[in-house]
Amino acid sequence: MRHDHLITSKQLSRADIETVLDRAAEIAADPSAVADRYSNTLLGLLFFEPSTRTKMSFETAMKRLGGDVVDMGSVESSSVKKGETLADTVRVIEGYADALVLRHPKQGAATMASEFVDVPLLNAGDGAGHHPTQTLLDLYTIRENAGLDDLTIGIMGDLKYGRTVHSLAHALTNFDAHQHFISPESLQLPREVVYDLHQEQEGTQIREHDSLEEILPSLDVLYVTRIQRERFPDENEYQKVAGEYQIDAETLEKADDDLTILHPLPRVDEIAPEIDETEYAAYFEQAHNGVPVRMALLDLLLDGGESDE
């Protein structure tokens, strides 16, 4: 992998993705081998939006590599409130850290910020833009549970606004996956995303559905996302739609025994708690996989940086 920054999963070739996933698997198999590898390394955390799992997972990853973090803290407690530009903030903080992680509510923020810094910058979400480390941990979890070859995946829920979904769908075209998109009409994939996906691979591999039932038996993986109440002007409308896209034991009667269920979390009620203890459920494992995947990424970017200088 030869990149200075990680801004979008679109910049990653199939070979790049496999390099990251292979390294993550090595690290997961023997974390002690890297436990002191970056003992003098500091990762700068710039989260301009709240986040629990992405931030904690990056922090854990850096610390599991023997390093440490310096955290800008919340926007309320920072110089941003005094009118400082993002370009100035990242240029100051790069003086404290060996790499930066940025989450920002504005699309394109990570690209812009990366142009001002010399240390590696990892995009941890830029509004409606990209969130490449989420995609990589999704791919890792799919590979561990179902394999990425000959994959048939259903992606269900809010497909209109979910950057996680668009990014994952795009990455899966590298592996010629059969992708089924299941959502109410009002939350379908944006037409331009569908168009892009068709450009990337044969059209027959992308299908849209408004019900899970017909397609469920053929799925290796079902990726569920949260339907956000605030998208609906009418509470009744939300209740109707949300109820149809909830998974419980009854829903899964027609599923393949080897089905793997994923969810980027947090969930509200898209997946009933009774599923948690079944063999289907891999969403907590998926969250935990954020650590080895981000360890692998940090290792590849920091190491690459070193051999570069």
Q: Residue 248 Cβ, how far from a copy of itself at the closest point, in Å?
A: 16
For the annotated binding site for L-aspartate, the residues are 82, 163, 226
By beta-carbon proximity to a copy of itself, the closer residue of 84 and 237 is 84
Residue 276 Cα to chain centre, angstroms: 21
Of residues 23, 55, 64, 103, which has the active-site annotation? Answer: 103
CB of 64 or CB of 130, closer to a copy of itself = 64
Residues ≥6 apart with Cβ < 8 Å to 80: 48, 89
Q: How far is the CB of 150 from a copy of itself (least distance, A)?
A: 29
Instruction: Please tell me whether residue 87 binds a copy of itself under the rule CB under 8 A.
Output: yes
Q: What is the CA radius of gyration of the chain?
A: 20
209 is catalytic: no
Active site residue 207: no
10 is catalytic: no
Please spell the DSSP secondary structure of 30-67, one letter per residue: -GGGGTTTTTT-EEEEEESS--SHHHHHHHHHHHHTT-
Q: Which is nearer to a copy of itself, 52 or 236 (CB)?
A: 52
131 flagged as catalytic: yes
- State the minimum distance, in angstroms, from the CB of residue 195 to a copy of itself: 31
In the residue annotation, 254 being an active-site residue is answered as: no
Interaction residues for a copy of itself, span 15-54 (CB under 8 A): 32, 35, 40, 42, 44, 50-53
CB 94 within 8 Å of CB 118:
yes
Long-range contacts of 191-197 (CB under 8 A, 24+ apart): 193/166, 193/169, 196/170, 197/169, 197/170, 197/173
Minimum CB distance to a copy of itself smaller for 95 or for 233? 95
Pick left, alpha or beta for residue 127 (phi over 0 → left; psi -120 to 50 → alpha; otherwise beta): left
81-88 contacts at long range (C-beta below 8 A, 24 or more positions apart):
86/48, 86/112, 86/113, 87/112, 87/113, 87/116
Of 29, 95, 233, 308, which one interacts with a copy of itself (CB under 8 A)? Answer: 95
Contact residues toward a copy of itself (CB under 8 A) are 32, 35, 40, 42, 44, 50-53, 55-57, 59-60, 63-64, 68, 70-74, 76-84, 87-89, 91-93, 95-97, 226, 265-268, 273, 284, 287-288, 290-291
Report the catalytic residues.
Answer: 53-54, 82, 103, 131
